[in-house]
Amino acid sequence: MLYALICTDKPHSVELRQKTREEHLNFLNGLGDRLKGAGPFMCDDLVSPTGSLVIIEAANRDEALAVANEDPYALAGLFESVEIRPWNWVLKNPEM
């Protein structure tokens, strides 16, 4: 099953995001084939990130939550909220 991790940064946290970015990227790359896609949400000015979208494969919601909680961004306290939603990849899914 695929899950979307919809993460919203705390206000005024760009510095914390930048400081933790390399660890975050290493963590995501370490997920291997379980990671289906990821990237930041941006402000309307397209300069400042405001959160993250991470699509992962997990056996269930608890496993997806564990991945979300292990993310270095989460451990650093970057996120104001994390929403975990089951996601069905219908269009342009390379595995179909």
Domain ranges of the chain: 2-87
Burial of 24 (0-12, 13-18, 19+ CB in 10 A): buried
| Per CATH, domain 2-87 is 3.40.50.2300 | no
Q: Over 90: is that where the pLDDT of 9 sits?
A: yes
Q: Model-level pTM?
A: 0.93
pLDDT for residue 29: 98
User: Which of 11-15, 46-50, 90-94 is predicted most confidently?
Assistant: 11-15
Q: How confident is the model at residue 11 (pLDDT cuts 50, 70, 90)?
A: very high
3-state secondary structure of 77: coil
Residue 65 — pLDDT band, cuts 50, 70, 90? very high
